[in-house]
Homo-oligomer: A and B are copies of this chain.
Amino acid sequence: MSEVIATDRPPEGAADRVAEFRPSLIVGEHSLCPGCGEPVALRILLETLQELGIVERAIGVVGHGCYGSFVRIMDVDVLQCLHGRAPACATGIKRVQPAAAVFTLQGDGDMVSEGLAEVLHAAARGENITCILLNNGVFGDTGGQQTATTVLGQRTKTSLDGRDPVSHGHPIRIADIVAGIDGVGYVARGTVGTARGVARTKRMVRSALETQLAGKGFSLVEILTMCPTGWFVGAPQGPDYMEQSMARAYAPGELRVSLGDER
């Protein structure tokens, strides 16, 4: 396996391009850490908007976290909102522009810590919006402290010897809670640690947006994303670490579906 194939230009013979670098809706470089899962989630979200043909009526509401900087590179209308309040802002937008495809992009700190009330009230209202949660179990942006979804035993800067249920409490399984609330149309949990996970998560994002377009109520996709920096592991170890910690506490899969089962 020593021969090296040239990869500096497209192949010469007949060939189909089956995967682009990234969707054209990403219009600049992100500055996130090596091995971060969030840019992968952004890509599949924007690809899905394009595939559904709803780019020109999409409005995003982005919270505070490392993904917050995506506001500079995503070529859709965006309200960068206050930490935790995206579902409330999205509600206001959707109610005055019912034809828009309104989504939020939030982290676990944003949605499950600071914004727990807002997301649950929006869900119970059956608000026709789609919330995308990038769950890495830490406040990445502020350097790796414990959030409401940090799994037991995980070391963070505010749970130095690992999250201990007695002092630091238990993680909240937000997707499970939301799935149990009346008014909710779609809830799923995916990961971006493996190629299969990415492909499956993309289908979930599509289902969530379709649920909104069909007026079937609130939809949520919780995406488990790697944060090697906040987990204090090497970038290559991200997916494995995720598999062994977060993905055990938070089982991937569809938790609530209300559209006919096209898949």
Chain A residues within 8 Å of B, Cβ to Cβ = 113, 115-117, 120-121, 124-127, 148, 165-166, 168-172, 176-177, 180-183
Tell me whether chain A's interface is mostly helix, strand or loop, or mixed: loop
Q: Measured between C-beta atoms, what is the minimum distance from A154 to chain B in Å?
A: 15
Inter-chain CA distance A167–B176, complex, in Å, is 24
A124, B148: Cα distance in complex, Å = 8
**Partner among B116, B169, B176, B180 whose Cβ is within 8 Å of the Cβ of A126:** B169
Tell me the number of copies of this protein.
2
Question: Known contacts A120-B172, A121-B148, A165-B182; can you find 5 more A-B pairs with CB under 8 A?
Answer: A116-B116, A124-B170, A125-B168, A127-B169, A172-B181
Which 3 residue pairs of A and B lie closest in terms of their CB atoms, listed nearest first? A125-B169, A170-B182, A170-B183
10 A-B pairs, CB-CB below 8 angstroms? A115-B117, A116-B117, A116-B120, A120-B172, A121-B172, A126-B165, A127-B169, A165-B182, A172-B181, A176-B180
Q: Determine the chain B residues whose CB is within 8 A of the CB of A182 once the complex forms.
A: 165, 170-171
Closest to A177 in B: B177
Distance between Cα atoms of A57 and B130 in the complex (Å): 47
